[in-house]
């Protein structure tokens, strides 16, 4: 699911481009997904592990405050999900900054 969010976030318009080719529409979309993953595999891996860690911490804090596991789970899934997208964007911005600085 996170990968899908990242693809939509970064390549939101890719499907419009591929609608012109009805014959190979899904093949082209899959190629875009594969290319996206190849270019971002390290950042996606870091984002996924950060996401799991963040949910764990958020759930522990929410449970300590509420004393209810259901509420703790709900609270722990909302904020870290938004934070994972923010982290990915932050990492990409730093990569771009470092590339420009090195050039």
Query: 63 CB contacts (<8 Å, ≥6 apart)?
Result: 69, 72
22-31, 32-41, 91-100: segment of lowest average pLDDT: 22-31
pLDDT in tens, 38-72: 888 888 888 889 888 988 998 999 999 999 999 99
Model pTM score = 0.50
Distances from the Cα of 9 to the Cαs of 2, 65, 88, in angstroms?
10, 33, 10
Instruction: With CA atoms as reference, report the closest residue to 58 among 44, 78, 88.
Output: 78
10-19, 33-42, 94-103: segment of lowest average pLDDT: 10-19
pLDDT at residue number 26? 58
């Amino acid at each position: 699911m996170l990968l899908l969010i990242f693809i939509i976030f970064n390549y939101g318009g890719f499907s419009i481009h591929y609608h012109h080719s009805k014959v190979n529409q899904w093949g082209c979309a899959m190629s875009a997904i594969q290319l996206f993953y190849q270019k971002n595999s390290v950042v996606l891996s870091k984002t996924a592990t950060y996401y799991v860690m963040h949910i764990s911490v958020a759930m522990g804090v929410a449970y300590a405050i509420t004393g209810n596991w259901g509420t703790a789970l709900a609270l722990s899934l909302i904020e870290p999900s938004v934070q994972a997208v923010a982290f990915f964007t932050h990492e990409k911005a730093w990569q771009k900054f470092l590339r420009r600085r090195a050039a």
